[in-house]
Chain A
Amino acid sequence: MITYDFLQHYWWFIIALLGGLLVFLLFVQGGNALIFIAGKDESERQLIVNSTGRKWELTFTTLVTFGGAFFASFPLFYSTSFGGAYWVWILILVTFVFQAVSYEFQSKAGNILGKNTFRAFLTLNGCLAPLLIGTAVGTFFTGSDFTVNKSAVGDIASPVISRWGNAWHGLEAVANPFNVEFGVMVLSLAVSLGALYLINNIDNPKLATQLRRCLGVSFGLFLVLLLIVCYHLITMGGFAVDATGAVTIEQGKYFKNLLEMPAVLALLLVGAVLLVAGVAATLLRKDFKRGIWFAAPGTTLAVMALFMVVGYNNTAYYPSTADLASSLTLANSSSSEFTLRTMAVVSLIIPFVVAYIAYFWRQMDKKSLTTDELTHGEKY
């Protein structure tokens, strides 16, 4: 039966899927973080910029669609988090705004700021976007300082429903080490994925060697942070929802969710194995270039599992530390049954969209990118 409850869970699945795909596609950001580190000279940097430059719009569009889908399915999150954690989201958006123009502008005559400035914008977005998005997602586990009072609409003088509890408007998230660890973890993952993608996408042995070195460092960092984050997730208190909708803090809630949802645990483990296998094979075998094809689905699955841990099994996915009762759950923040049902029909098109993207991705990337192609063909 397709009940309201089912639709809410279905839409959280779509959010998880888009979130998983978004983190995988952050390889564009991760790759750009390496422009000046892995790229030692102009031709190498140009290769990196043009390689990520043929995919950046997919990441960007996935971010926009993630936002749109969140708005359509869980509008209370959209209003509470975006309007509340104002500065975090504005910062994230601004880095993406700079990215959007930088590819097109960087090598064009008349661009005023010069090539390296625009590439620095790409690197800045490459580092800050995964870091900030990761930190923001960290608050899904640790909670934020806000209240929600829907009855406020009846107060003519002050009808605002969602209010943030402090003037930092989201920047205070860095005061909680878990959020920062989560952010750095996402950043190091994005850089690892970026390196894997570039190794596969560019045909240049010298650059590949430099990228493998970066991959080793970033993935090492990722593993360390992963262990720290996992330790916290197992031990920390989570925000549990009871049958009446009341929210309480329950020790080890997230770990318990994993144990109580074996399918999610399996998803997480399969994802982790694929990710590690992709990276390990790339690091151990010098001629192995296809690591991204293991790490990408691995990342997507693992991130999906994390979203499910924080949203399913009677858990408040966007908890309020200021007022537990204000915490957002799938049930109290979703769109109406009619809208979710309508949008569920719309969502059936997603496999078709993914299919044509994949088809043209293959068409465009049959041959790896070379300096020769950039000399003779179109380039940024």
Chain B
Amino acid sequence: MVETALVNWSRLQFALTAGYHWLFVPLTLGLAIIMATMETIYVITGDEFWKRTSKFWMKLFAINFAVGIATGIILEFEFGTNWSNYSWFVGDIFGAPLAIEGIFAFFMEATFFAVMFFGWEKVSRRVHLASTWLTGIGAAISAVWILVANAWMQHPVGMEFNPDTVRHEMVDFWALVLNPVAVSKFFHSVFSGWMTGAVFVIGISCWYLLKRRETRFALASIRVAAIVGIIGTFAVMLSGDSSGVHAAKYQPMKLAAAEGLENGGEGAPFSIVPGVEIPAMLSILATHDIDGYVPGINNILDGYTTPDGERHLSADEKIERGKTAIEAFSTYRALKESDPAAAAIARQTLDENIDYFGYGYINSKEELVPPVPLVYWAFRIMVGLGGFLLLLMVVVLWLERRRRLADTALVQWVALLSIPLVYIAGQAGWIVAEVGRQPWVIEGLLPVSAAVSSVSVAAVQTTFWLFVAIFTLFLVIEMRIMIKAIKLGPNIETE
């Protein structure tokens, strides 16, 4: 029996690493665009002020960048160290985007980051500007590939199961890359990074305004950041909308959990908070149809028939078929050499039931329901904060254009105190995406319990606490260094 404790600690360790990684990456994605825009203004106008402005944000970018890299390398290798069965079972598909990410994106980031940071006097202005953009583009390209990989886990496409090699094998590379879930996930994640960068820059700039320091610098930064942030937020909303539609289509349980929807149906209501609902809104959001059918948790477990007549199996039926698939797999393996005819029959049974293979590892249907309150509230926090931050950025930009921002201390305070909110929104988003798909590593094909490595619980606990200590230490140090650098202001000197 795979120990539950091992599965849970392995999940916790991965969540910890991913959560910390996602504290640093969005700022990298967003700040890159903001400082590249600033440097572009410098190259066009030749105004040294913009050079100094972009250089200041680059300092903060560099401090943050390093920790993102540090947490990222652990993530990549954790697929092997802690999810070794997963690594073989789907490595034929999953490894490719990781390798492409390294070859295409990471070298780009590494090379041009060094030119951007150390090359001011070594390369021409234009080459330097190109390097700054390429650092940001490299970061975005790396997001493409890791999200292609992640989207494949949420909605596996372009592969076939091969019982001889005991793994899923890629048969269509472009299906993997153009996976609709990957496309919306990419825009949703990258543009949420733009929001993070924008709220970060606005918040810190408002601190300068509160202190009545660096006013020109602060207002100029706010102008660029707010525009980037508002564009980003609209893109996040659009891609969030298509993410919802995809969840309804490919991961109905995730959607039901995010809505806390026990019993669904046609014209399903959208819950704002428990007890407050907008009639039919969930159907509109999830299916773009006011009468659209959205199944609830119970419907999914008990099985349901959509209005178009398509019957969806109950959990028990899926588990049954999963067990049939696994049994046929074993029969095929055992008889392959000795009794090819019987093996061929087993192979056929396996192929007929392969879509439910992962359900065979599920012991009871309760396991198929993710932790509803966590997903439900994470979703509300994400959307609520997103809406609030959009409002904030619009207000800040409006006040700035009316030349009143420098005198509106209340808004400055709100903006400063909103910096943590954008991080909370980002973390909540990943909780919806990742906790919402439990118990699946790969939707329907492999549950977490069949994906873990065979290491002891104690080993995983040890590395978990080790990573907690290291990452927390780095986070605290990074924040202290940033605060010191911010207090010094745009003329920041090291020592």
Do the beta carbons of B92 and A339 come within 8 Å of each other?
yes
Q: Does A108 contact B (CB under 8 A)?
A: yes
Known: A150-B165, A339-B170. A65 touches B99 (CB 8 A): yes
Q: Does B242 contact A (CB under 8 A)?
A: no
Known: A79-B88, A110-B480, A346-B103. A93 touches B453 (CB 8 A): no
- Which residues of B sit under 8 angstroms from A103, Cβ to Cβ? 66
Q: Give B244-286 as 1s and 0s: 1 = Cβ < 8 Å from A's Cβ atoms.
A: 0000000000000000000000000000000000000000000
- Which residues of B sit under 8 angstroms from A107, Cβ to Cβ? 494-495
Task: Give the interface centre of B81, B118, B484, B485 by most chain A CB atoms within 10 Å.
Answer: B81
B314 CB, min distance to chain A CBs, angstroms: 20
- Which residues of B sit under 8 angstroms from A82, Cβ to Cβ? 77, 79-81, 84, 87
Q: Does A174 contact B (CB under 8 A)?
A: no
CA distance A363 to B122 in the complex (A): 7
Do the beta carbons of A151 and B166 come within 8 Å of each other?
yes
User: What residue of chain A has the Cβ atom nearest to residue B451's Cβ?
Assistant: A159
Do the beta carbons of B470 and A94 come within 8 Å of each other?
yes
Q: Give A207-231 as 1s and 0s: 1 = Cβ < 8 Å from B's Cβ atoms.
A: 0000000000000000000000000
Do the beta carbons of A86 and B92 come within 8 Å of each other?
no
Known: A78-B79, A90-B463, A153-B89. A346 touches B100 (CB 8 A): yes
Known: A96-B73, A342-B170. A75 touches B110 (CB 8 A): no
Do the beta carbons of B330 and A154 come within 8 Å of each other?
yes
Known: A58-B111, A104-B62, A336-B169. A110 touches B454 (CB 8 A): no
CA distance A65 to B62 in the complex (A): 22
B174 CB, min distance to chain A CBs, angstroms: 10
A79's contact among B76, B85, B494, by CB below 8 Å, is which?
B85
Do the beta carbons of A84 and B66 come within 8 Å of each other?
no
A246 CB, min distance to chain B CBs, angstroms: 15
Q: Does B180 contact A (CB under 8 A)?
A: no
From 416 to 473 in chain B, residues with beta carbon under 8 angstroms from any chain A beta carbon are 450, 452-456, 459, 463, 466, 470
CA distance A378 to B118 in the complex (A): 6
A363's contact among B106, B115, B326, B330, by CB below 8 Å, is which?
B115
B73's contact among A64, A71, A350, by CB below 8 Å, is which?
A64
Chain A residues within 8 Å of chain B by Cβ, number: 82
Known: A101-B70, A111-B481. A75 touches B102 (CB 8 A): no
Q: Does A310 contact B (CB under 8 A)?
A: no
Known: A86-B459, A160-B453, A343-B99. A364 touches B114 (CB 8 A): yes
- Which residues of A sit under 8 angstroms from B450, Cβ to Cβ? 153, 159
- Which residues of B sit under 8 angstroms from A90, Cβ to Cβ? 81, 463
Known: A83-B81, A339-B170. A65 touches B95 (CB 8 A): no
Do the beta carbons of B470 and A169 come within 8 Å of each other?
no
Q: Does B193 contact A (CB under 8 A)?
A: no
Do the beta carbons of A363 and B63 come within 8 Å of each other?
no
From 149 to 182 in chain A, residues with beta carbon under 8 angstroms from any chain B beta carbon are 150-151, 153-164, 167, 169
Q: Give B61-84 as 1s and 0s: 1 = Cβ < 8 Å from A's Cβ atoms.
A: 011011101111110110111111
Do the beta carbons of A169 and B459 come within 8 Å of each other?
yes
Do the beta carbons of A93 and B74 come within 8 Å of each other?
yes
Q: Does A135 contact B (CB under 8 A)?
A: no
- Which residues of A sit under 8 angstroms from B74, Cβ to Cβ? 93, 97
Q: Does B162 contact A (CB under 8 A)?
A: yes
Q: Does B171 contact A (CB under 8 A)?
A: yes
Q: Give B311-332 as 1s and 0s: 1 = Cβ < 8 Å from A's Cβ atoms.
A: 0000000000001001101100
User: What residue of chain A has the Cβ atom nearest to residue B55's Cβ?
Assistant: A378
Do the beta carbons of A364 and B122 come within 8 Å of each other?
yes
CA distance A96 to B361 in the complex (A): 37
Q: Does A69 contact B (CB under 8 A)?
A: yes
Q: Does A330 contact B (CB under 8 A)?
A: no
Known: A101-B66, A356-B111, A364-B118. A79 touches B98 (CB 8 A): no
CA distance A76 to B81 in the complex (A): 12
CA distance A67 to B103 in the complex (A): 11
- Which residues of B sit under 8 angstroms from A68, Cβ to Cβ? 76, 95, 98-103
CA distance A294 to B87 in the complex (A): 39
B461 CB, min distance to chain A CBs, angstroms: 13
Do the beta carbons of B454 and A160 come within 8 Å of each other?
yes
Q: Does A112 contact B (CB under 8 A)?
A: yes
CA distance A350 to B104 in the complex (A): 9
Do the beta carbons of B494 and A159 come within 8 Å of each other?
no
Do the beta carbons of A78 and B103 come within 8 Å of each other?
no
Q: Does B50 contact A (CB under 8 A)?
A: no
A146 CB, min distance to chain B CBs, angstroms: 10
- Which residues of A sit under 8 angstroms from B26, Cβ to Cβ? none
- Which residues of B sit under 8 angstroms from A163, Cβ to Cβ? 454
User: What residue of chain B has the Cβ atom nearest to residue A85's Cβ?
Assistant: B81
CA distance A102 to B259 in the complex (A): 44
CA distance A380 to B113 in the complex (A): 13
Do the beta carbons of B360 and A335 come within 8 Å of each other?
no
Q: Does A89 contact B (CB under 8 A)?
A: yes
- Which residues of A sit under 8 angstroms from B165, Cβ to Cβ? 150, 336
Q: Does B2 contact A (CB under 8 A)?
A: yes
A-B contact pairs, 13 of them (CB 8 A): A61-B109, A65-B103, A68-B102, A72-B95, A86-B453, A86-B455, A112-B476, A156-B360, A162-B84, A339-B93, A342-B96, A364-B114, A377-B121
Chain A residues near B (Cβ < 8 Å): 54-55, 57-58, 60-61, 63-65, 67-69, 71-73, 75-76, 78-84, 86-87, 89-90, 93-94, 96-98, 100-101, 103-105, 107-113, 150-151, 153-164, 167, 169, 335-336, 338-339, 342-343, 346-347, 349-350, 353, 356-357, 360, 363-364, 366, 377-380
Q: A100-B69, A167-B456, A364-B115 are known contacts; what are 7 more A-B pairs with Cβ within 8 Å?
A: A68-B102, A73-B99, A86-B453, A111-B477, A160-B84, A163-B454, A343-B96
